[in-house]
Amino acid sequence: MICDGRGTPLKVITTAANVNDVTQTLALVDGIPPVAGLPGRPRRRPDSLLGDKGYDSNSHREELRKRRILPVFSR
């Protein structure tokens, strides 16, 4: 599940019981629907993505930066 800053769920993916959550990180980010609310074009991409140590890897950081998203993960 990926949520906005207020805790509102934006996208949910269910997987098998023994699948690591980190494998679905980029699929969740890419699956965020347009979020309306402010005048103008709806946002499809967050400015930053916060996560714990389990999501910290160089490959995920690089992919998020390619999408112009600032990765904020614990090391």
- Domain of 42 in residue numbering reads as 2-73
Give tens-digit pLDDT for 29-67: 999 888 777 788 877 788 899 988 888 889 999 999 999
Whether 75 shows a pLDDT value over 80: the answer reads no
| Rounded-to-integer distance, Cα 29 and Cα 60, Å | 11
Q: Report pTM.
A: 0.79
How crowded is the C-beta side of 9, counted as CA atoms within 13 Å?
Answer: 4
Number of domains in the chain: 1
Instruction: Express each pLDDT in 12-33 by its tens digit.
Output: 999 888 888 888 889 999 998 8
SS (H, E, C) the chain: CEECCCCCEEECCCCCCCCCHHHHHHHHHHCCCCECCCCCCCECCCCEEEECHHHCCHHHHHHHHHCCCEEEECC
